[in-house]
Amino acid sequence: MEKVYFLIQEWNHPASRYRVLQYVPYLKESHIDAKVSLFPDSFCQWMKLFAELKDYQVLFVQKKRLWRWQLWYLTRKHIRIIYDFDDAVMFKSPVDGGGRSFKRQRTFARMVRYSDQVIAGNQYLKAQALPYNNNVVVIPTAIGTSRYTMKDYRRDKKNITLGWIGSKSSLPFLEELTPAFDQLASKDKSLELKIICNDFFECRTMPVIKKMWALEDENADLQDVDIGLAPLPNHEWTKGKCATKLLQYLSVGIPVVCSPVGVHNEIIQEGVNGLFAASAQEWVEKIGLLIKDKLLRERIGLEGMKTVESSYSLKANLPKVINIIKERYHT
């Protein structure tokens, strides 16, 4: 039986849940014994981890870059390293000033060079890794669709709810659209904005529903949303995003309006399974189209569900993860 040790950042971190934890229950069926642990935070804990690793053939590292001495030790012990990343970790976030970071680039290059196999979350990220390692494959962030239920379009609602789900770090991208929301709300009193997060902001005209994110409430919270929003600035860092929120909307059958940035361009076909908006006026226009036409919302939402099932579901991507762990994946 293959034995793999997964290192993750936090138990509730989206990358940990979507890139590792949701796969683990299915690995045993493929004769893979898995253990998951948080990254050690001291030298002593690293020593304990190294002692444990003598019983494992594979170390699966999610996102964080290891130090040179850690990589040297793992190589010396002939432990196969799989490095998985779903963010442009070599760049700074635009929230932090953006731009290139020599230190981030250096630690990323070193991590990729030392790895036996690299898993990138999208084609843009793969291109960042290829100069340092030829053994790079793309596995998109996958959604366990069994966790979500289809939105009930027969249900009558008094209001039309624009919705956004995400972390505090991405909230500024939504807040930039406040003028568009207020413009829409000034013409239509049935509109409201639902923010599912651990932080919030106010609009002048658009009513804002503030819902603290909770894993157990995700499906119910998304059921209330009529139009999903996924704004992103066009930036080196955001091009690496793997569109988790976009896939969550699609999994529930919610039509989306999103920025034509990065992996959004791989997932969305304009007018088929979503709509693109590249300016404030386009956000107003595209959201306005969906507000006026419930049948259009339903049609686009259903196409979005098909997209997830075929290419971005747990079922579609589980065999790829298993094959990489078992060294049976060939590019």
Mean per-residue pLDDT of the chain: 94
pLDDT score of 157: 85
In this structure, the answer to whether residues 169 and 284 fall within a common structural domain is: yes
93 shares a domain with 138: yes
- Tens of pLDDT, residues 68-100: 999 999 999 999 999 999 999 999 877 666 667
Judge if pTM exceeds 0.85.
yes
Tell whether 149 and 254 lie within a shared domain. Answer: yes
Q: Are residues 190 and 104 in the same domain?
A: no
Q: What angle is formed at CA 278 by the lines to CA 295 and CA 140, rounded to 5 degrees? A: 75
Query: 234 with 286, same domain?
Result: yes
Residue type, 248: Q
**Same domain (yes/no): 135, 156:** no
pLDDT at residue 324 in the model: 96
Query: What is the pLDDT averaged over residues 229-234?
Result: 95
Query: Does some domain include residue 331?
Result: no
pLDDT class for 178, splitting at 50, 70, 90?
Answer: very high
If one counts the domains in the chain, the total is 2
Residue 11 lies in a domain: yes
**Distance in angstroms (rounded) separating the CA atoms of residues 157 and 226:** 10
pLDDT score for 99: 64
- The more confidently predicted of residues 158 and 113 is 113
The string of pLDDT tens digits covering residues 110-142 is 999 999 999 999 999 999 999 999 999 999 999
90 inside domain = yes
For residue 331, name the pLDDT band (cuts at 50, 70, 90). very low
Nearest alpha carbon to residue 145 among 331, 18, 258: 18
Q: Are residues 131 and 190 in the same domain?
A: no
Q: CATH number for the domain including 305?
A: 3.40.50.2000
pLDDT at 322 over 70: yes
Residue 268: which of 237, 316, 311 has the closest Cα?
311
Judgement on whether residues 26 and 84 belong to the same structural domain of the protein? yes
Tell me the pLDDT band of 327, cut-offs 50, 70 and 90. Answer: confident
Could you tell me if 131 and 151 lie in one domain? no
According to DSSP, the β-strands at 160-165 and 136-138 are: unpaired
Helix axes 294-307, 244-252, angle to 10 degrees: 120
- Residue 330 domain-assigned (yes or no): no
Looking at the fold, whether 218 and 70 belong to one and the same domain comes out as no
- Sorted by sequence, the CB contacts under 8 Å of residue 110 that are 6+ apart come out as 65, 68, 71
Structural domain span for residue 216: 145-312
> Sign of torsion, CA 110 118 165 276?
positive
| 149 and 297 assigned to the same domain | yes
**222 and 174 both lie in a single domain:** yes
The Cα 89–Cα 103 span in angstroms is 11
Is position 87 within any domain? yes
Q: Return the sign of the alpha-carbon dihedral for residues 270, 271, 275, 280.
A: positive
